[in-house]
Amino acid sequence: MTRYFCTYFDHHYLPRGLALYQSLRRHCPSFELWVLCMDRATYDVLSRLALSGIHVIALEDFEENDEALVRTKLHRTLIEYYFTCTPSLPLYIFRRYPDVDIITYLDADLFFFADPTPLFDEVADDSIAIVGHRFPPHLRDLECFGIYNVSWLSFRRDERALACLRWWRDRCIEWCYDRCEDGRFADQKYLDHWPSLFQGVLVLRHKGANLAPWNLANYTIRPAGDRVWVDDQPLIFFHFHGLKQVTNWLYDPNWAVYEICRSEVVLQRIYAPYILSLLDAIQLVQPPLGNRPLRSSLRGHTTNSRSLGHSALLLAAARHLRGLLGVCRRILARQCFFVINGRVI
């Protein structure tokens, strides 16, 4: 059975998107992946690579005749506009590809370690599938950003799912900002209301779905043969949110934010395969993108120093220095890792 997925990213996230694709190639027997390219560089690279199973969508084609969506650009940051686009992408695919029965949105920084069939089996006849953050007790206050995570979202082509998607799109057109305000946060906090507003909403229970830095503390992670187990279930996909490439050989997994202690199992059996896949992807896209450090998330941005005044430059330099000191502390605490001669240590 062919599985249908969609995602979006710009050139900063292109290596992660390619790593996601390669992990699907390894673990999903038959799939098609639609990629909304958020800039021309991404579209050009993916078009040149012409990878089997990938359908590229140019941003201008996606935006065509969608004035309500495009108008939101006037008062939103780039990342806020990306978030605003999320519910429109599954709707776009449903409109243009009538053979798609279930479309599953994936965040670009996911990576599969096993066949996702058990998740689709769990969905069964439900119309919508979402996954929780599953914060441990000491991180429960992070639910202000959402009980559920926009990482894996499945929608069946039926009236229940379409009603949910249209409602979500309308809400994101109205308000979709990168801040917590009045019980809202970006495109994500709206998911809190789905189980009560719509019928046929399933919250995935599989422990191996959306394992992430923020919920590692809930589980015992152990290797068994060529697989990784999350308590008594196999790891299906991991969410590498916050992973930052500090230099070509130094990576910060952002574990300190979630009070995670270094685990050699997590490092060698989860992070190492992903890092090596990212390095392969970086080589694949060179040139034209060059060897650019990976951003920790789509929220990253660059600053043109010529647009800053003297005091602003000093503040930027101070923030940069604090960041470097933080990395040094994490190195000393063994919460960062190095890539040396193709090995992650």
Domain-by-domain residue ranges, the chain? 3-242+255-266
Stretch 190-213: mean pLDDT: 98
Give the Cα separation of 216 and 300 in Å (integer): 24
pLDDT, tens digit, 9 for 90 and up, residues 113-171: 999 999 999 999 999 999 999 999 999 999 999 999 999 999 999 999 999 999 999 99
Stretch 303-313: mean pLDDT: 42
Contact yes or no for 157/100 (Cβ under 8 A): yes
Tell me how far the alpha carbon of residue 137 is from its chain's centroid.
23
Three-state secondary structure call for residue 101:
coil
Q: What is the DSSP letter of 77?
A: -
**The pLDDT of residue 334 is above 80:** no
**The pLDDT of residue 330 is above 80:** no
Stretch 237-242: mean pLDDT: 96
Stretch 41-67: mean pLDDT: 98
Taking the CA of residue 261 as centre, how many other CA atoms within 13 Å lie in the half-sphere pointing to its CB?
4
- Around Cβ 167, how many Cβ atoms within 10 Å? 16
What is the second-level CATH architecture of the domain 3-242+255-266?
Answer: Alpha-Beta Complex (3.90)
Residue 144 in tokens: 């202000």
**The pLDDT of residue 64 is above 50:** yes
**The pLDDT of residue 315 is above 90:** no
Q: What percent of the chain lies above the pLDDT cut of 70?
A: 86
**The pLDDT of residue 301 is above 90:** no
Alpha helices in 232-271 (DSSP H): 264-266
Looking at the DSSP assignment, which residues form a beta bridge with residue 237? 112, 209
At a CB cut-off of 8 Å and minimum separation 6, what does 207 contact?
219, 230, 231, 232, 233
Q: What percent of the chain lies above the pLDDT cut of 90?
A: 78
pLDDT, tens digit, 9 for 90 and up, residues 167-177: 999 999 999 99
Contact yes or no for 136/126 (Cβ under 8 A): no
**Amino acid, res. 35:** V
**Which has the higher per-residue pLDDT, 60 or 249?**
60
Among 101-115, 167-181, 301-315, 330-344, the minimum mean pLDDT is found in 301-315
**The pLDDT of residue 303 is above 70:** no
The total number of residues shown for the chain amounts to 345
**The pLDDT of residue 273 is above 80:** yes
Contact yes or no for 178/219 (Cβ under 8 A): no
> Which strands sit side by side in the sheet containing 110-112, from one edge to the other?
110-112, 237-239, 209-211
Q: Which of 281, 289, 271, 287 is closest to 335 using CA atoms? A: 271
Give the Cα separation of 168 and 48 in Å (integer): 34
DSSP string over 130-147: EEE----GGGGGGGGG-S
CA dihedral (306, 310, 313, 319) in degrees, to 10, reads: -170
Among 97-106, 170-179, 322-331, the minimum mean pLDDT is found in 322-331
**Amino acid, res. 324:** L
Number of H helices, E strands in the chain: 12, 19
pLDDT, tens digit, 9 for 90 and up, residues 66-85: 999 999 999 999 999 999 99
- Around Cβ 318, how many Cβ atoms within 10 Å? 10
Output phi, psi for 242, to 5 deg.
Answer: 85, -5
Residue 116 in tokens: 């996702």
**The pLDDT of residue 300 is above 60:** no
Q: What is the pLDDT of residue 326?
A: 58
Q: Which of 210, 205, 207 is closest to 222 using CA atoms? A: 207
Q: What is the pLDDT of residue 256?
A: 87
Mean pLDDT taken over the chain? 90
Q: Is the pTM of this model over 0.85?
A: yes
Q: What is the pLDDT of residue 175?
A: 98
Stretch 47-74: mean pLDDT: 98
Among 23-27, 188-192, 258-262, 296-300, the minimum mean pLDDT is found in 296-300
Q: What is the pLDDT of residue 322?
A: 61
> pLDDT category, 307, cuts 50, 70, 90?
very low
Q: What is the pLDDT of residue 306?
A: 33
> pLDDT category, 299, cuts 50, 70, 90?
very low
